[in-house]
Structure 1
Amino acid sequence: MQMRSWKVTDFGKPLEMIQQEIPEPTGTEVLVKVTRCGVCHSDLHIGDGYFDLGSAGRLNMGDRGVPLPHVLGHEILGEVVKGGPDAGAVPAGETKLIHPWIGCGECSICKAGQENHCAKPRTLGVYRDGGYQEYILVPHPMFLVDIGNVDPTDATPFACSGVTVYSAIKKALPVHDDEWLVIMGAGGLGLAAVSIAHAMGVKQVLSCDIDDNKLAAAKEMGATATLNISGDDAAKKLADATGGGPRAVVDTVGANPTAKLGYFSLVKGGRYVIVGLYGGDFTVPLPTLPLRAASMIGSYVGSLKELKELMELVKAGKVKQVPIETRPMDQVQNTLDDLRAGKIVGRVVLTN
């Protein structure tokens, strides 16, 4: 039997729909019928074939071991079909969210439960084929995550956007009740961060963006306040809005303007946590790091343990869902184009 896959066949070119045989699981692999896959901004970078490093040039995905042709998509949910001969009993017929941030499984980092930091990653949608297809092989049943009674469409983005900001906010904490957490960006990641921050007990959350429509969505998600940071007076407006500066900033954009504004806005001892991958660079005067006791922290997605922790909050009804639009899987290229053009508020989940 055959299935459809939408593949990058050449970096920077539109995806191609390719018919191929449904794979057979071997070893500990599990075959899952993909019913939903979220669309993430990092898919644009991977499809383009590089990340923008500013003055340092480009980080080329081909040099990083991303194969071609390749299936993107790492926010994956589907129905378990069967396991390989070494997979043991698998929950055939059940719908599971898939943790895509998979490591080698053998190194000390993986054994410590930080497989998302593994130096030999096997990430679905990055180094192994992802979810923009009708079936997928998951390396081990341990990466199948229970969603309880959560609507499958709602659950899908938590595999990336959700767990990414959950892990970042953990690094940004503690933020006391009289202090502010700033979320840079009100796209899919930023909206999820607002909701999850509240679920984690943060009292004062300021959402910053240059798009008033996205800021309105952030307010709906529960942002204590919003701030349009376009214009030359953004630093003053941010300081005024937070009473002198935030305790922590989570930057879901990762561009030069948000990085500079976020880092330099911090109060003494503050923490700037970056998860966005838009690209570029900025200069930090080195004496300001110790003089301000400031921390600059990179946060890369999240671990399996963190995804399970997050899903417990979701199943308990503590996380407000970001706006989600569903589209058929064969609209994946149009959806990526819309995402690049900034036309999407919240997330798009593709369905098979």
Structure 2
Amino acid sequence: MRAMVLDQFGGRLQLKEVPDPAPPGPGQVLVRVRACGLCYTDVKIASASLPGPLLPRLPHILGHEPAGEVVAVGEGVMSVAPGDHVALHIYLPCGRCRACWAGDETLCDSVRQLGFNLPGAMAEYVVVPEINAVRIGQHVPLEEAAIIADAVATTVHGLRERAGLRVGETVLVIGAGGLGLHAIQVARLGGARVLAVDQAPDKLELARKVGADDAFLIQSEHAAKQVLAAAGGPVDLVVELVAKPVTMSLAAAVLRTGGRLLMIGYQPGVDVAIPTPDVVLRNLSIIGSTASSLLSFRESVRLVEQGKIRPVVTDRYRLEEANEALERLKRGGILGRAVLLVA
């Protein structure tokens, strides 16, 4: 099968012929990948800028936002059949540790992940456990189904499971890119008033189109005043997707007493801080959130099927154009999410 392979950190991906996966064993599903979304984490992996334990052994196939068509199933598989369209949850936890028992499988000490420590979906085929292949209606384009795995499910998990979004709250989304555009939709769906900030004017316009009540430039010295004025006062929840000192300062400036800061974005090697008096004396809650649970993933698939969340795919590339797509993503030239059309 064809795959884009990373042979050395910092180098370009190489289009290669690699062995097909083994036929699916009991409880496994063979999927022909039709689309694979691109995430800035792919840039971090390829450039070796993630912490060492998260980096794969080389050579490696990237890709952790896959969707495709079931080709074959192993013995005992009942939830999907050949011909079904599926979106894939990328986390393969052990199922035996304390984190798994608590439903926090992304924190499993021995978790395996497609595109991280397992071969990813920038390839024509992958094999996954049945539980990871979630059937999705064929009315949903597979290029949109692909980005459910990260861009959609990460925000559903963060806002609903981690931050406990409540009806009637005001939410500020910092960063209106691939994740932020879906965080806006999730917050609106949860009954919140939503504001957004970003450094790119065209992203602000797209943020308004997907449901933001208003959007502002982060570079403006008046950004905090604009947010407070539009919100009618401090906000209940900030969704931080950028992780830079300027954005953390903005979050602290606009959160109400007792407010919550949901941190999803991160930058390796960049430390950010909020003054301790703000956290302690104003009872601020700082909540970290990574990826999604299987529960949030399945919920995200249903929300997309029902048209309640629309995956925002703005750029499409062929598999062999992965390097060009990643370079454009690195430069900040992609408004929503980019997708590789694999087959």
TM-score by length of 1: 0.90
Q: Which residue of 1 aligns with 2:217?
A: 228
> Following the alignment from structure 1 to structure 2, what is the Cα–Cα distance between the partners of residues 112 and 86?
26
Instruction: Provide the rounded CA distance (Å) in 1 between the counterparts of 2:165 and 2:80.
Output: 39
Is 2:88 the partner of 1:98?
yes
Residue 290 (structure 1) aligned with residue 288 (structure 2): no
2:163 corresponds to which of 172, 197, 202: 172
Letter in 2 for 1:40: C
8 Å Cα contact 1:78-1:97 kept in structure 2: yes
Give the structure 2 partner of residue 56 of structure 1.
none
- Deviating more after overlay: 282-291 vs 212-221: 282-291
Which amino acid letter does the alignment assign opposite residue 294 of structure 1?
A: L
Give the whole-Å Cα distance in 1 for the aligned partners of 2:313 and 2:34.
19
* Structure 2 counterpart SS, 1:277: coil
Query: What are the Cα deviations for residues 152-177 of structure 1, in whole angstroms up to 9, with x where unaligned?
Result: 22221111110011111113334452
Find the aligned partners of 1:131 and 1:94 in 2 and give their Cα distance: 18
Measure the CA separation in 1 of the matches of 2:29 and 2:318.
24
CA deviation profile, 1:318-340 (whole Å, cap 9, x unmatched): 12342433221111111000101
| Whole-angstrom distance in 2 between the partners of 1:9 and 1:49 | 12
1:277 aligns with 266
Query: Alpha-carbon deviations, 1:182-224, whole Å to 9, x = none?
Result: 001111111111122222222x100111111000000111111
Which of 303, 322, 329 is equivalent to 1:332? 322
What residue is the counterpart of 1:186 in the other structure?
176
How much has 1:47 moved relative to structure 2? 1.1
Match of 1:5, as an amino acid? Answer: A
**Structure 2, unaligned stretches of length 5 or more?**
none
Deviation at 1:286, TM superposition (A): 2.8
Match of 1:14 in 2: 12
Farther-moved stretch of structure 1 (145-154 vs 122-131): 145-154
Cα pair 2:184 2:211 within 8 Å, conserved: yes
Q: Give identity over the alignment, percent.
A: 34
8 A contact 1:252–1:275 mirrored in 2:
yes
Unaligned runs of 5+ in 1: 52-58
Match of 2:312 in 1: 322
**Alignment partners' CA distance in 2, 1:89 and 1:270:** 41
| Mapped contact 2:165–2:190 kept (Cα < 8 A) | no
Partner of residue 43, structure 1: 42
Q: Which residue of 2 aligns with 1:83?
A: 73
Aligned residue for 1:303? Answer: 293
Show the counterpart of 1:265. Answer: 254
Choose from 341, 344, 347 the match for 2:331: 341
Q: Which residue matches 2:195?
A: 206
TM-superposed CA distance for 1:32, in Å, is 1.2
Distance of 1:257 and 1:150 partners within structure 2: 38
CA root-mean-square deviation: 1.9
Which residue of structure 2 aligns with residue 143 of structure 1? 132
Quote how far apart the aligned CAs of 1:309 are.
1.2
CA–CA distance in structure 1, aligned partners of residues 143 and 172 of structure 2: 28
Equivalent residue, structure 2, for 1:154: 144
Return the alpha-carbon distance in structure 1 between the equivalents of residues 247 and 55 of structure 2: 30
Counterpart contact for 1:209–1:215, Cα < 8 Å: yes
CA contact (8 A) 1:250 1:273 kept: yes
For residue 65 of structure 1, report the CA deviation from its aligned partner. Answer: 5.4
The answer to whether the 8 Å contact 1:199/1:313 transfers is: no
Secondary structure at the residue paired with 1:21? coil
Give, in angstroms, the shift of residue 122 of structure 1.
0.4
- Which residue of the partner structure matches residue 104 of structure 2? 114
SS of the aligned residue for 1:153 comes to: helix
Check whether the contact 1:42–1:277 (CA below 8 A) recurs between aligned residues. Answer: no
Matched, 1:34 2:26: no
* Cα drift, residue 90 of structure 1: 4.9
**1:49-60 correspondence runs (5 A):** 49-51=48-50, 59-60=51-52
Contact persistence 1:263–1:296 (CA under 8 A): no
Aligned 8 A contact 1:175 1:181 in 2:
no
1:126 aligned to 2:103? Answer: no
Displacement of 1:255 in angstroms is 2.4
How far off its partner does 1:113 sit? 2.7
1:185 aligned partner, one-letter code: G
Relative to structure 2, which stretch is displaced further, 251-260 or 13-22? 251-260
Larger deviation, residues 325-334 vs 87-96: 87-96
The structure-2 alpha-carbon separation of the partners of 1:115 and 1:50, relative to structure 1 and needing over 3 Å to count, comes to: same
Structure 2: distance between partners of 1:65 and 1:343: 25
The count of residues paired between Structure 1 and Structure 2 equals 338
Q: Distance in 1 between matches of 2:101 and 2:316?
A: 37
